[in-house]
Amino acid sequence: MSSTLLSQPTHIGMQSSATLDHACVSPSGILEAAISSPHLFIPYTDHRIICLTLLLLSPSGKNAIELSCFNPFFPPHPYYPIGKDKYHFQLFSEQIAASISNYSSVYDIMVSDDYSFQLIYELFSSQLQKVADENFKFRSADKPKTRKITNSTISLICRENRVINHIISALRQQLPIPPSCQLSFRQLQWTFLHDSFHTTSFLAYLCLIRRSLNKLCFREQEAKLNHQSQSHETQAFNAVLKGASSTWLYPISYITPPRALSHPSQGILTDPDQIKTATVDYFTQLYARTPHESVTNKPWLNTPAIHQIRQTVTNDPFLWPKELTLSDLHFLLC
């Protein structure tokens, strides 16, 4: 499998420049391919990033991997309780104390190595999460609702479309025209009767008008989206030019796991669970902590200076807190 980007010269006046707008990929092992230019801001240049996306074929006898299994998962965050629900903090504290008392023998273990630390950490984390799920509300993992694309023109088109829908529905069901649509109905009838080019029925004429309104509404919504996108980009660039942070110019994107993974011993992996396991094992071994042996012999504690300090502290220990006598209290107050 291979891919190559090709450049095709484009001429602008007397100057010429190379534009990467072609991609060649191997026909074997690739189901689909797409080339795009992400909207990424690169300072001090007019270059744009070219993104080549390849969809690999699944090996024979194995089902293709669905995109849904690669969607990133983010744990939900709890809501901060409002005034009347703040008693949940007390319930949370009491339940945590009760759960810890049930594992008192485990939490009394001395943390001396990685195993003991991991054991206590996992037990305590699971108890915290379990009690939090019982006492607090969490944000939904669903995607937020998108805002409705509208303006005065789109609202007017939608209103006229609803009127025509009511008229068409009444004519098809042989019902009287609603009072709110009487004026529009008479105007449409007059237009239909005085139109010398119509060759269809009045109902088909209304359907044609409705189709035209839907197309016009779609064009207006598209123009509205383009205007919003251009306005947002212009404001972002102007803010950066005036000294603001350029962080907002870089979109936040998450890289999904690969569809196929080459394993040194198992060959090509395409199953999502196998890819996940292999990735976790690789990074676990990569960032594994080296166990350290406890130092029992500490020669720096047997020097003459340390012996002298130890003897001084033994003869004159530092006692705290000190007892407060009446003379000391009188000295402080006066």
pLDDT of residue 16: 43
Q: Give the separation between CA 183 and CA 266, rounded to whole angstroms.
A: 75
Domain-wise residue ranges, the chain: 11-56, 86-135, 152-231
Confirm if 89 and 81 have CB atoms less than 8 A apart: yes
Cα distances from 321 to residues 317, 318, 327, 330, in angstroms, run 12, 9, 17, 18
pLDDT of residue 143: 59
Q: Give the separation between CA 325 and CA 18, rounded to whole angstroms.
A: 90
Q: What is the residue type of 320? A: W
Q: Give the separation between CA 80 and CA 82, rounded to whole angstroms.
A: 6
Q: Which two tokens stand for residue 168?
A: 């068409």
Can you give the pTM of this predicted structure? 0.37
Q: What is the mean pLDDT of each run of 10 residues along the chain (334 residues)?
A: 45 46 69 69 65 69 44 62 85 85 72 77 81 81 70 92 93 90 90 74 90 93 91 88 81 73 87 88 86 75 89 88 84 80
